[in-house]
């Protein structure tokens, strides 16, 4: 019994001696990189990738009426940003968004919608498979996001026929986004 107590005390003492000094920079200890937001765009940096409109996942429409139904480029950007805001505040999927850069997502999602709707933007984001890798998105998560997009389009007064045209472009991309 005595030996055990002594051994325990010795082990405790060893642990205490190994305790690092106060003010240890744990990020440096574990090689964690501190990412800084770009002072101009407010975005966090991402690993390099090849930019191409092909990353948007589908070919664009060519219809001035469709673009007008979405309120032009500004309307499209607002709808994308609103979809992101609704999703970030949606308890069903908020956790997935919390860990990512919403400043960038508002821009890239807006570019993707603008490109697909034929409003003349280039898409500069990543392809759908790489963008959602390791995210573990489910069919239910996708349905929640689509509901939020439909709400954003509805609030903006986009006619249903035009809403469905955007959704039709996005639907086949679900196979690159949803893992289960
Ligand atoms: C067909 C459906 C979807 C489309 C078209 C889509 C589109 C996009 C686009 C364009 C990006 C930006 C890529 C980049 O910044 O390089 C992105 C990123 C992201 N998407 Fe989706 N998405 C879809 C489904 C979903 C779903 C269902 C969720 C979660 C519920 C989700 C969560 C995210 C998140 C959190 C990011 C940020 C990734 C990062 O910053 O690393 N997406 N998505």
Q: What is the pLDDT of residues 94-119, one digit of tens each?
A: 999 998 999 999 999 999 999 999 99
Give the separation between CA 77 and CA 63, rounded to whole angstroms.
18
Question: What structural domains does the chain harbor?
Answer: 53-177 (1.10.490.10)
Residue 110 phi, psi (nearest 5): -60, -45
Sign of CA dihedral 147, 164, 61, 70: negative
Distance 104 CA to ligand 1 centre (A): 10
Structure pTM?
0.87
Give residue-wise pLDDT tens across range 36-87: 999 999 999 999 999 999 999 999 999 999 999 999 999 999 999 999 999 9
CB-ligand 1 contact for 97 (6 Å cutoff):
yes
Residue 180: which pLDDT band, with cuts at 50, 70 and 90? confident
Residue nearest to atom 23 of ligand 1 (CA): 177
**What is 108-122 written as a DSSP string?**
HHHHHHHHHTTSSPP
* Structure token digits, residue 85: 């805001």
């Amino acid at each position: 019994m005595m030996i055990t107590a002594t051994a325990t005390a010795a082990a405790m003492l060893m642990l205490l001696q190994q305790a690092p000094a106060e003010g240890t920079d744990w990020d440096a200890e574990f090689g964690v990189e501190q990412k800084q937001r770009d002072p101009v765009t407010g975005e966090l940096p991402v690993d390099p990738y090849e930019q191409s409109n092909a990353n948007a996942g589908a070919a664009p429409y060519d219809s001035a009426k469709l673009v007008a139904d979405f309120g032009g480029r500004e309307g499209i950007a607002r709808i994308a940003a609103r979809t992101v805001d609704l999703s970030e505040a949606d308890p069903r999927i908020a956790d997935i968004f919390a860990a990512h850069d919403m400043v960038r997502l508002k821009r890239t999602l807006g570019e993707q919608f603008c490109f697909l709707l034929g409003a003349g933007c280039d898409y500069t984001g990543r392809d759908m498979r790489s963008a959602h890798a390791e995210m573990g998105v489910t069919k239910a998560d996708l349905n929640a996001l689509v509901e939020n997009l439909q709400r954003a389009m509805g609030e903006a007064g986009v006619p249903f026929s035009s809403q469905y045209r955007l959704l039709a472009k996005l639907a086949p991309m679900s196979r690159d986004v949803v893992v289960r």
